[in-house]
Structure 1
Amino acid sequence: MACKTIITIGRQYGSGGREIGEKLAADLGIKFYDKELLSRAAKESGLCEELFENHDEKPTNSFLYSLVMDTYSMGYSSAAFADMPINHKVFLAQFNAIKEIANEGPCVMVGRCADYALSEYKNCVSVFVEAPMEARIRRIAEKYDLTDAKAKDSIQKTDKKRASYYNYYSNKKWGDASSYNLCIDSSICGVDGTVELIKNFVALKEARDAAGV
């Protein structure tokens, strides 16, 4: 049976979240979006893609949530959007692109507050992938040929950036179990095991939804 679910994946750096998302999408025969979200947002908003790369999952101290939500309802042609600071425009464009992609059908999206943007979608499952620091250091050190110290520094900085972005733009807490439907330690299950676990979770949800439970 074809997958009917949109799956969002939040992830600690070095936990294998992106690889898990890619394999999950391939197994389910649905589309995968990570950096692709940036290209989509740039194309639909008319903004330069480089702006999205420079502001990708980076928090700002001047974000005005109500202004962005008001502008979201008016669209890119509104005067409010034209006058909005660039970081606001980038977030708004990503927020809009996430919803547009979700409306097209089942897929896997990684990061960028996708779970928050799609919180009202009944066919969405939010997942957070984590792993102990030691396991993540090994993964990053091997992948990028870094010393353990440099790998740990990179992990801590990236996690801090992702947490700040998520906590700032959403009304939830990054990495907190209450913010997601499913949290998994990928060091226990491995990449393939984590993929299978998510697939089983999604299948169970779809079965219950179909039965009206």
Structure 2
Amino acid sequence: MNTIITIGRQFGSGGREIGEMVANHFGIKCYDKELLSRAAKESGFCEEMIQNHDERPTNSFLYNLVMDTYSFGYNSSSFVDMPISHKVFLAQFDTIKKIAQEGPCVIVGRCADYALSDFPNVLNLFITADEECKIKRIKERFEDITTDDKAKDMMNKKDKQRQSYYNYYSSKKWGRADSYDLCINSSILGIDGTVKFITQYIEDYELSKKL
């Protein structure tokens, strides 16, 4: 196993669970919230601040300024003047690259596919699901979400945040097929079936690289 898998996902699609199961199958690490803890530790920011700005969009600075600052580093004057949300993005961006350099893993969300666009051994996946399946999963996961309408509102809000964040910081479009190597509806095969499909896809991909 030599592949890094990134997973973009709609809220309620089971993307995080699928990522963890795929990682378990291959005996590698899965990074979701764990990435935030590591980014906080390595950047010196408090973890609460990173969590508060996690996958949240911002429109206060130009995208190009962010990427220019990334190339200059944390000590540049541009970085000092940058909004917190941008600093958090850069800390995560840096951490994602470091994690990928350590070996194969699964990374969920946070523009990981864009952060690793220069890495040759990356497969970028996107998990979607039918609305009723997502609503059901959200209600099961959150005790205070008791109605379909509340679940749908939460789903739409989270997806809008993720879409805005991804579209702002990356050069691609969130959820659009040509932004990924594989898009799959987890409602069709269920969580276990989707994991089986993805692991087979990865194994076939690795085999093709050896031929």
Q: Any gaps of 5 or more consecutive residues in structure 1? A: none
Counterpart of 1:109 in structure 2 is 107
Out of 93, 96, 99, which is 2:94 matched to? 96
TM-score for both structures, normalised by structure 2: 0.95
Q: Who is 1:151 aligned against?
A: 151
**Measured at CA, do residues 193 and 48 of structure 1 come closer, stay the same or move farther in structure 2, by a change above 3 Å?**
same
What amino acid does structure 2 have at the position aligned with 1:180? Answer: Y
> Superposition RMSD on alpha carbons, in Å?
1.2
Deviation at 1:73, TM superposition (A): 2.3
Deviant stretches of 4+, over 6 Å: none
Give the match for residue 72 of structure 2: 74
Name the residue aligned to 2:45.
47
Q: Deviations over 1:49-96 (max 9, x none)?
A: 111111011000123322222222232233332222211111111111
For 1:116 and 1:198, locate their aligned partners in 2 and report how far apart those are by CA, in whole Å. 20
Secondary structure in 2 matching 1:184: strand
SS, match of residue 11 in structure 2: coil
Name the count of aligned residue pairs.
209
Residue identity opposite 2:148 in structure 1: D
Contact 2:63 2:168 in 1 (8 A): no
Query: In structure 1, what is the Cα distance between the partners aligned to 2:166 and 2:70?
Result: 19
Q: Partner amino acid for 1:175?
A: G
SS at match of 1:60: coil
Which one-letter code corresponds to 2:62 in the other structure?
A: L
Cα deviation code 1:150-181 (max 9, x no counterpart): 11111111111111111111111111011100
Cα distance between partner residues in 1 of 2:47 and 2:140: 30
Distance 1:124 1:37 in 2: 18
Distance across 1 between alignment mates of 2:36 and 2:140: 27
- Say if 1:143 and 1:87 are closer, same or farther in 2 by CA, change over 3 A: closer
Q: Measure, in 2, the Cα distance between the counterparts of 1:160 and 1:69.
A: 23
Q: Which residue of 2 is the match for residue 166 of structure 1? A: 166
TM-score, length-normalised on structure 1? 0.94
Whichever residue aligns with residue 9 of structure 1, its letter is I
Q: Retained in 1: the 8 A contact 2:6–2:109?
A: yes
Which residue in 1 is equivalent to 2:129?
131
| Partner of residue 182, structure 1 | 182
For structure 1, which segment, 13-22 or 82-91, has the greater mean C-alpha deviation from structure 2 after superposition? 82-91
Query: 1:143 Cα shift?
Result: 2.5
CA contact (8 A) 2:4 2:100 kept: yes
Please list every run of 5 or more consecutive structure 2 residues that lacks an aligned counterpart in the other structure.
none
Q: Which amino acid aligns with 1:190?
A: G
CA displacement at 1:10 relative to structure 2: 0.5
Shift of 1:98: 0.6
Greater Cα offset, 179-188 or 134-143: 134-143
Mean Cα deviation higher: 32-41 or 60-69? 60-69
